[in-house]
């Protein structure tokens, strides 16, 4: 099978390549090699690659910047998805698109099912919802949340740096979601694609945590394997004490029951996968 991955230089794009099944030929397009917001470039690139499967791992993920850069956020997260979906259809390829928990408003008290009403509270979430709509019928849309990996900019790597530099960090404790290792997400996407799934599915690691819980776990696990050499104070704060341009959902745990039933098992707990990721960081030095 021939596969085209867009956003191949990002943490999910790299993870998809690292765990690719056997007998798959990969064409990996980074943002430098393909501007997915350019309809003509997308048409010609996909036609030349002639994939059987196209996975869009590209996204505008600057949540706060999106509030003032609305046009770019919608061009990359919205309109560009339509260009890719159309090009995939013309090439006879299946299309997989990755979306986010930010399409929900965070007011639910139970995990959001795939068919739960969407109500984004910021530009980023609204632009990603537009992308879901642009993906069209027959696409596989995988919503995920709180993704991190051993490469790139993410919460885990930021916490490791701050914990090595400071004597104290303050972390929001009233936003609840599920940390998700990029490698775990990539594996889940491959399994869903192999099952020829279409429509909306949710995939994150198992369990739930606040950003504060996540930070505490990062320090504990990093100390246990020697990535950090001292413990510092990790203090919980409310969202109101850490104001940002974009509002975040207070609760965005995703219901993965349909995904687990289809692929045969739930993902590992987020803390177990955090441990694996930190070991990976340690091995790389």
Give me the active site residues, please. 124
Reference 39, options 71, 73, 83; nearest CA is 83
| DSSP 8-state secondary structure symbol assigned to residue 77 | I
Dist CA 151 CA 157 (whole Å): 8
Question: In what helix (H) or strand (E) does residue 25 lie, and over which residues does it extend?
Answer: strand 25-29
Reference 214, options 262, 264, 163, 248; nearest CA is 163
Dist CA 170 CA 223 (whole Å): 18
Dist CA 210 CA 233 (whole Å): 17
């Amino acid at each position: 099978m021939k596969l085209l991955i867009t956003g191949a230089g990002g943490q999910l794009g790299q993870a998809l390549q690292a765990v690719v099944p056997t007998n798959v030929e990969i064409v990996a397009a980074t943002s430098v090699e393909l501007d997915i917001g350019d309809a003509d470039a997308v048409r010609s690139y996909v036609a030349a690659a002639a994939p059987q499967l196209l996975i869009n791992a590209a996204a505008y993920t600057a949540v706060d910047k999106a509030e003032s850069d609305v046009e770019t956020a919608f061009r990359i997260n919205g309109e560009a998805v339509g260009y890719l979906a159309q090009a995939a259809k013309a090439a006879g390829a299946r299309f997989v698109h990755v979306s986010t928990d930010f399409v929900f408003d965070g007011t639910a008290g139970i995990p959001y099912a795939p068919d739960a009403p969407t109500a984004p509270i910021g530009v980023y979430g609204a632009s990603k919802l537009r992308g879901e709509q642009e993906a069209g019928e027959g696409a596989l849309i995988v919503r995920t949340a709180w993704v991190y990996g051993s490469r790139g900019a993410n919460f885990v790597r930021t916490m490791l740096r701050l914990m090595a530099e400071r004597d104290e960090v303050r972390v929001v404790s009233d936003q609840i979601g599920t940390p998700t290792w990029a490698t775990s997400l990539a594996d889940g996407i491959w399994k869903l694609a192999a099952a020829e799934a279409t429509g909306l599915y949710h995939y994150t690691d198992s369990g739930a945590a606040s950003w504060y819980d996540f930070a505490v776990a990062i320090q504990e696990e990093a100390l246990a394997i020697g990535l950090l050499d001292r413990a510092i104070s990790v203090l919980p704060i409310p969202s109101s004490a850490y104001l940002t341009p974009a509002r975040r959902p207070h609760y965005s745990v995703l219901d993965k029951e349909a995904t687990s039933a289809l692929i045969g098992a739930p993902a590992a707990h987020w803390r177990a996968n955090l441990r694996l990721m930190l070991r990976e960081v340690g091995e790389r030095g």
